[in-house]
Amino acid sequence: MSALLEVTELRLSYGPVQALRGASLTARAGEVIGIVGESGCGKSTLASALIGLPAPGATLSGELRIRGEDMITTTEARRRELRGDRVAMIFQDPMSAFNPVLTLGQQLVDFQHRANVSRAEKLARARAMLASVGIPDPELVLRRYMHELSGGMRQRAAIAAALMMQPDLLIADEPTTALDVTMEAQIIHLFRELRQQYQGSIVIVTHHLGVVGELCDRVYVMYAGEVVEEGTTDEIYHNARHPYARALIACDPAHIQGPVARLPTIPGRLPDLTAPPAGCAFASRCPQAAPGCAHPVPRVRLSESHAVLCHQVTP
Considering only the C-alpha atoms of the chain, give the largest distance between any 2 of them, rounded to a whole number of Å. Answer: 67
Where is 3: in which H helix or E strand? strand 3-14
Q: Write out the E strands in 158-279.
A: 169-173, 201-206, 218-223, 226-232
Q: pLDDT at position 31, please?
A: 93
How many other CB atoms are there within 10 angstroms of residue 38's CB atom? 17
Would you give per-residue pLDDT tens digits along the chain (315 residues)?
Answer: 568 999 999 999 999 999 999 999 999 998 999 999 999 999 999 999 999 998 888 999 999 999 999 999 999 999 999 998 899 999 888 888 899 999 999 999 999 988 899 999 999 999 999 999 989 999 999 999 999 998 889 999 999 999 998 899 999 998 887 778 888 888 888 888 887 778 889 999 998 888 899 999 999 999 999 999 999 999 999 999 999 999 999 998 888 888 888 889 999 999 999 999 999 999 999 999 999 999 999 999 999 999 999 999 988
Q: Return d(Cα 42, Cα 169) in angstroms, integer.
A: 19
Q: Where are the domains of the chain?
A: 3-86+169-256+264-309, 94-166
50-80-142 Cα angle (round to 5): 95
Give me Rg for the CA atoms of the chain: 20
Q: How far is Cα of residue 219 from the mean position of the Cα atoms in its chain?
A: 10
Q: pLDDT at position 2, please?
A: 67
Q: Is the separation of the CB atoms in 165 and 88 below 8 Å? A: yes
Q: What are phi and psi of 77, to 5 degrees?
A: -60, -40
Cβ-proximal residues to 126 (8 Å cutoff; 6+ apart), any chain: 105, 108, 109, 112, 138, 142, 160, 164
Q: Return d(Cα 6, Cα 27) in angstroms, integer.
A: 7
Q: How far is Cα of residue 169 from the mean position of the Cα atoms in its chain?
A: 11
Q: pLDDT at position 92, please?
A: 82
| Helices marked H in 227-290 | 233-239, 243-250
Q: How far is Cα of residue 296 from the mean position of the Cα atoms in its chain?
A: 27
**Rounded-to-10 torsion of CA 280, 32, 158, 164:** 130
First to last CA, the chain: 26
User: Quick one: 3-86+169-256+264-309 is in which CATH superfamily?
Assistant: P-loop containing nucleotide triphosphate hydrolases (3.40.50.300)
Q: Return d(Cα 7, Cα 66) in angstroms, integer.
A: 9
Looking at residue 310, its amino acid is: C
- Paired residues of 234 in beta bridges: none
Look up residue 26 and give its DSSP letter: E
